[in-house]
A and B are shown apart, each in its own frame.
Chain A
Amino acid sequence: MKTKLPVTIAFLTGLFMAFAYFVERDNVAWVRILYEELNQNNIVLAVFVLFLGVGTLLIRHAKKIRDKNSDSIYSWVVIVSTLAVAYIGLFQTTGESIGANENFQWIFNNFQVPLSATMFSLLAFFVASAAYRAFRARNTEATLLLIAAAIVMIGRVPIGSVISDSLSLTGSFSLPAIAEWILDIPNTAAKRAITIGIGLGMTATAIKIIFGIERTYMGSGK
């Protein structure tokens, strides 16, 4: 029963959602109602996943504090900031919306914005350092990658036009035009192949789940 029930639910819902995709739902009332209901339930599940995420985060860090881990100071920061933001969001917005809560926006603008901006800005430095150490023309493939990357990096920024003009590279031979060609042709060809491959893989996995061949989502691995 423990196995049969989830497999049956997966089979029925999977088959129905695939069927509903190809049916004019507005013309078939029962399909439309069931489809809307399943959609709504999925959104409710997504909200529970958020709760699960926050709960797991808090439990994990509480354990670190209990075990007197050497980095437990950071766990305190995580727990205190999570609870503080949750308190402001939950209890200081009574009778109004989160959008009208100035404290919430203040925390966002003065904590999350500078912290996220700092983390992302550091990428510029680490990308430069990593590119210097890793981008070596060791073989033909690496050389092609190196040349394509350099052209796209230069061709996609204004200095690409300036360099092209100074070298009298015009029309299709200008750096921006070559960068555009790389993005339009080789990049698109590779991406399309990957996308179609992923699509076929997803379809195969979905079919296996619907027909109960793939059952690892139940956790047993059998």
Chain B
Amino acid sequence: MNIWDKLSSIDRRWIFLAMAIFVSWPVLKPLGLPVTTTKEVESLYSFIEEIEDKKPIILALDYGPSTAPELTPMAKAVMRHAVSKGIPVVGVSLAPDAPGVANDIWKWAEEELGAIPGEDIAYLGYKAGTTNVILQMGQGISKAFPKDYYGNNTDDLEIMEGFESLKDASLVLGLEATAIMDLWIQYAGDQMGVPVAGGMTAVSAPEAYVFYQSGQIVGLMGGMKGGAEYELLVGAPGNAVQGMDAQSLGHIVIIVFIIFGNLGFFLGKKGQDVSRLKSLRGDQK
């Protein structure tokens, strides 16, 4: 077995070890790689910056703990921005494992940002029914959520003054790990005319570019990078900016191993056998 054959048959445990080392290293010793902003995130920032009538932002937290490292920095950065501008934030969830994550974010906003529950922020909790819940919010917020997550009557909250239905919101920001984003766009955006924006996991984000181009969403944050960009725009680098070094090296590790695999495939015995077979087939034709 020559070196090229060895390159095409590396034991996967070496790949796991390399990944572990290169992802852990920048966490222990940050590299400080520069994060640049993209137009999709900048347009969301500008949209929130230009909200003048102090109508609430609906923060749809439709994700569980598995995708929290990607999406929670987005939620915190947007909440920081909104609270600093005096824009109320009302949270809802259409995913059953979301309230635990949202509860931690709401406690963080109270402690870190000094947001007053019921006045600056409110979390209404989870309700089953996805599409129908969005439609019901269009008929009346308190129809869909008569009480908030903490047991208060929704209509009694100060934040709800003048905020009767979803149509009164200044923006719906969907933080999504699933296809619920499409429903916010279809019903809140296209049907009710409420501006919609997205914060999605890196895997799902490419699917939303089509909606950004068509103007159906006013901004898009994709993966941890999107969160890092927003953190920089609000001037408060946090977990997402810190995580970008680890993600950079993780991607480099994957690409290096892909290159190894291809070198082994083309220059090793197996690859040469395949090309010989192909040329033989060509000769037969």
Contact = CB atoms under 8 A, between A and B. Distances in A.
Interface string B212-251: 0100000000110100000000000000000011011111
A159 B249 contact: yes
A96 B150 CA distance: 8
Interface in A112-160: 112-113, 116-117, 119-120, 124-125, 127-129, 131-133, 135-138, 146, 150, 153-154, 156-160
Given A98-B149, A99-B103, A158 B248 contact: yes
B114 interface: no
A38 B45 CA distance: 38
Given A120-B66, A128-B15, A137-B262, A99 B129 contact: no
Interface of A: 21, 36, 39-40, 42-43, 46-47, 49-50, 96-100, 105, 108-109, 112-113, 116-117, 119-120, 124-125, 127-129, 131-133, 135-138, 146, 150, 153-154, 156-162, 176, 180, 183-184, 187-188, 191-192, 195
B254 A128 contact: yes
Nearest to A157: B248
B27 interface: no
Contact of B135 (A39, A113, A157, A184): A39
Contacts, number: 168
A50 B126 CA distance: 13
A107 B69 CA distance: 19
A36 B258 contact: no
Nearest to B252: A159
Most chain A CB within a 10 A radius of its CB, from B36, B136, B248: B248
A176 B37 CA distance: 10
Nearest to A129: B12
Contacts of B15: 125, 128-129, 132
B202 A158 contact: no
Contacts of A112: 64-65, 97, 100
Contacts of B249: 159
A111 to B, nearest CB: 10
Contacts of B206: 183, 187, 191
The A interface, classified by DSSP as helix, strand, loop or mixed, is helix
A34 to B, nearest CB: 13
A39 B136 contact: yes
Given A46-B132, A97-B149, A153-B251, A132 B210 contact: no
B225 A40 contact: no
A99 B123 contact: yes
Interface string B1-30: 000000000101001101110010000000
A1 B155 CA distance: 46
A135 B259 CA distance: 9
B33 interface: yes
A156 B222 CA distance: 9
Nearest to A25: B139
Contact of B132 (A39, A100, A119, A187): A39
B38 A180 contact: yes
B150 A100 contact: yes
Nearest to B97: A112
Nearest to B128: A46
26 contacts: A21-B191, A43-B133, A47-B129, A50-B96, A96-B151, A97-B147, A100-B150, A109-B104, A113-B100, A116-B66, A117-B65, A127-B254, A128-B15, A128-B257, A131-B258, A132-B10, A132-B254, A135-B261, A137-B265, A153-B251, A154-B255, A157-B248, A176-B36, A176-B38, A180-B38, A191-B209
Interface in B98-135: 99-100, 103-104, 123, 125, 127-133, 135
Interface in B159-207: 191, 202, 206-207
B34 interface: yes
A39 B139 contact: yes
A124 B250 contact: yes
A136 B207 contact: no
A99 B99 contact: yes
Interface string B77-103: 000000000000000000011011001
A109 B15 CA distance: 31
Among A21, A39, A97, A191, find the residue whose CB has the most chain B CB atoms closer than 10 A.
A39
Given A40-B136, A99-B151, A136-B265, A184 B100 contact: no
Contacts of B250: 124, 128
B80 to A, nearest CB: 21
